[in-house]
Amino acid sequence: MFDIVDRFPLYPLIFCFVLYPAAAWMALRLLPQKMRVQCFTLLNVAGLAAMCWLSGANGVRVKDALSYSKVPFIFFSIYVALVLANYGVLRRCQRDHTIWPAAAFLLPIAFLAYIKYASDLLNPFTAVLAPLSLIHILKLSVLRGTAAALG
Q: Specify the DSSP element, H or E, that contains 142.
A: helix 130-150
Sketch the domain layout of the chain as residue ranges.
4-92
φ, ψ of residue 3 in degrees (nearest 5): -75, 140
AA letter at 139: K
Give the pLDDT of residue 98.
75
Question: What is the Cα–Cα distance from 8 to 119, expressed in whole angstroms?
Answer: 32
Report the distance separating Cα 134 and Cα 121, nearest Å.
15
Confidence grade of residue 25 (pLDDT, cut at 50, 70, 90): very high
Q: Which residues pair with 3 in a beta bridge?
A: 61
- Helix/strand/coil for 98: coil
Question: Using DSSP, how many helices (H) and how many strands (E) does the chain show?
Answer: 8, 0
Measured CA to CA, the distance from residue 85 to residue 80 in angstroms comes to: 9
Whether the per-residue pLDDT at 131 is higher than 80: the answer is: no
Cβ atoms 2, 57 nearer than 8 A: no
pLDDT at 142 over 70: no
Please compute the mean of the pLDDT values over residues 26-47 and round it to a whole number: 90
User: Of 112, 115, 131, nearest to 123 (Cα)?
Assistant: 115
**Residue pLDDT, tens place only, 37-78:** 999 989 988 888 888 887 777 777 777 878 888 888 888 888
pLDDT given at position 134: 52
Please tell me the predicted confidence (pLDDT) of residue 7.
67
Distance CA 140, CA 105 (A): 29
Q: Enumerate the H helices of the chain as residue ranges.
A: 4-7, 11-14, 20-29, 33-55, 65-68, 70-92, 100-113, 130-150
Instruction: Return the pLDDT at 128.
Output: 56
Task: Please say whether the dihedral angle defined by the alpha carbons of residues 127, 114, 80 and 53, taken in this order, is positive or negative.
Answer: negative
Q: What is the pLDDT of residue 22?
A: 92
Most confident of 4-18, 72-86, 95-109, 133-147: 72-86
Read off the pLDDT band of 146 (50, 70, 90).
Answer: very low
Q: What are phi and psi of 59, to 5 degrees?
A: 85, 0
pLDDT grade for 119, boundaries at 50, 70 and 90: low
